[in-house]
Amino acid sequence: MSEYTGVASPGPSAAFFDLDRTLISGSSMFSLALAARAAGLVPARQFAADARKALAFTLRGADDDTSAGVRERILGAVRGVRQDDVIALNSEIIPRLLGRIRPEARHLLDRHRHAGRATYIVSASPRELVAPLAVSLGMTGGIGTISEVVDGVYTGRLAGPFCYGEGKVDAIRELARWEGLDLAQCYAYSDSASDLPMLHAVGHPVAVNPDTKLSRAAAANGWPIVVFSRRTKSVIRRTTTAVGAVGVAASGFAAGWRLAKRTTV
């Protein structure tokens, strides 16, 4: 086994990281559900349903998830809740998620940053959670799902394309247009076959703790497959040599919020 380090490549680029089971172990939505339940924002029955779905995701990933099912889980989690109340939960949720960031992911973020490449979280989780988490990690920004808000309350409907599957590709392409990024020089990291569109959209895709379908696709395409654990890292297969690591200084929550507003998610 050898260490996954890679070689930086030239040109304007960024590294895009899926959140759940890639940057962090488990599900960010479960942390949101826990905090919302503790704050009395969701009834016990809804919390139990959300917990079961999050546990299933933690155990098997998104192999069997449909886009509609994921969308309903994300939007339904905040339906009828005030946006200010959800944002207030970040004081509890963000430290919890920071404690679950995989050590190997932190190492990759540092390498991307030191090499001058921008870093972004791209996740189906709510923008209100993703953007501040990215800032807390010193990343350039976070792109997440934008839910419709009417009179300060989430309606359970989207306010733009869903940041999942092809929706992630729409988001990073829009960002690339704004920032002058060359996607052929960009990197993407994910554990799930649901992110195959995003992985195919960049020049340097990496499968992290991949589910079965993604593992097969990575092998067929010659993509690196790496295993991130909580404490140690091992590379189980390295099938390409042109894989780099790089990043850009953090911009702060306001920048992350502006980024989310001007992207298509």
- Would you please indicate which residues are annotated as catalytic (active-site) residues? 18, 20
Per DSSP (E only), the strands in the chain are 14-17, 118-126, 141-145, 147-150, 153-158, 187-190, 204-208, 225-228, 233-237
Distance CA(230)–CA(262), nearest Å, equals 34
Distance CA(83)–CA(77), nearest Å, equals 12
Distance CA(32)–CA(178), nearest Å, equals 30
Number of neighbours of residue 38 by Cβ within 10 angstroms: 12
CB 124 within 8 A of CB 226: no
Q: Give which of 101, 93, 125, 135 is closest to 22, Cα–Cα.
A: 101
CB 53 within 8 A of CB 118: no
Burial class of residue 128 (count of CB atoms within 10 Å of its CB; 0-12, 13-18, 19+): buried
